[in-house]
Amino acid sequence: MTKPKPIPARPSLEWLRKTAKDRLAQARRVTPEAKLAAAQLQIAREYGFSSWRAMKVHVERLSARRTFDEDGVPTHLPRVDLIASWPDFTAERPLNLLVSGCLAGLPVGVDGSTYGDHALIRRLIDLPNARAVTFCPENFAFGTPRATPDIHGGDGHDVLDGHAKVLSDTGEDWTAGMIAAAERMLAIARAHQVRLAILMDISAACGSQVIYRGARASSAHQIGQGVCAALLVRNGIPVVSQRDYRTLNGVFRRLNPAFRSRPDLRDHHEVDWYRDYFQA
Ligand code: SF4
């Protein structure tokens, strides 16, 4: 099965209309009586939508959202000036972090694994002036091992707003369980007064930069957040993923000024794959 094309990083109605007009012009070179509606449907299907209207609604929702700041930094990431404004942390007054259970080394992945070794994250949370609270929302809601959930019809924000669903790869509707897990995660973050969440990207729960758009076996990636990351962000808690090396480096340096600065490091939205894939 051909996978759908990814939606670009900054979609708009203007982009959609121009794409349809270009496609119609192409079609009319071969078939002068070609219709706009047929060109629109073809484009919608290429992007994985059942109709032009469904694609239009999706793009309107995305373009109404402030995903990036003016300088192109995703709004959910902690800014350099925010990290600089934090107080000095000590063992007695540590930086409180909320960390995805799997990133902290807990065997809570869908298959009971930790999804690999996350040495950088473990190094950070082991610093004497950091304190990590770990949580796996999917383990909380569905246990381990479990089926693999993905978001259908949008991202985590759309799930919270009732526009999208979380479905397991066995076809069960896990929307309510995932929202309950997100609420639990937010309650934990508040109880521990965390300043930052470090979450595993790609997950339908914890993803923050990139997640799947529909069932992962047959879908494209999308820019967006999983349900739990979205609820944290909506409540003012910045989120960083394990792939945001520039920001993680800044957090390391805030905890230990002797930590070597690495100007060559990039966050996930700055890497070539992301830029090419999402035309960012
Ligand atoms: S990414 Fe989040 S939901 Fe998935 S295993 Fe890790 S902590 Fe659990």
Q: Which amino acid is at 271?
A: V
Q: Which secondary structure element, helix H or strand E, spans residue 166, and what is its range?
A: strand 165-168
Residue pLDDT, tens place only, 160-204: 999 999 999 999 999 999 999 999 999 999 999 999 999 999 999
Residue 261: pLDDT band (50, 70, 90) is confident
Direct distance between the N- and C-terminal alpha carbons of the chain, in angstroms, rounded to an integer: 26
Q: Which of 123, 142, 147 is nearest to 184 (CA)?
A: 142
What tokens does 158 get?
């759309």
* Global pTM value: 0.96
CA 139 – CA 58 distance, rounded (Å): 30
- Does the pLDDT of residue 103 top 70, yes or no? yes
Helical spans, DSSP H, in 92-226: 119-125, 137-142, 156-160, 175-191
Task: Please enumerate in sequence order all residues whose Cβ is within 8 A of that of 23, keeping only pairs 6 or more positions apart, or say none.
Answer: 39, 40, 42, 43
Residue pLDDT, tens place only, 71-89: 999 999 999 999 999 999 9
Residue pLDDT, tens place only, 115-134: 999 999 999 999 999 999 99
State residue 189 phi and psi, 5-degree precision. -60, -40
| Contact 109 CB / ligand 1 (< 6 Å) | yes
Q: How far is the CA of 149 from the centre of ligand 1 (A)?
A: 11
Best of 97, 98, 99, 102 for a ligand 1 pocket test (most atoms within 8 Å of beta carbon): 102
Residue pLDDT, tens place only, 11-68: 999 999 999 999 999 999 999 999 999 999 999 999 999 999 999 999 999 999 999 9
- Does the pLDDT of residue 148 top 90, yes or no? yes
| Contact 154 CB / ligand 1 (< 6 Å) | no
Q: How far is the CA of 8 from the centre of ligand 1 (A)?
A: 26
Q: Which of 164, 172, 115, 163 is nearest to 141 (CA)?
A: 172
| Contact 108 CB / ligand 1 (< 6 Å) | yes
DSSP string for residues in 194-247: -SEEEE-TB-TTT-SSEEEES-TTT-EEEE---HHHHHHHHTT--EEETT-HHH
| pLDDT at residue 1, as a whole number | 65
Ligand 1 nearest-atom number relative to CA 139: 8
Residue pLDDT, tens place only, 164-175: 999 999 999 999
User: Taking phi first (over 0 means left), then psi (-120 to 50 degrees means alpha), and beta for anything else, what does residue 143 get?
Assistant: left
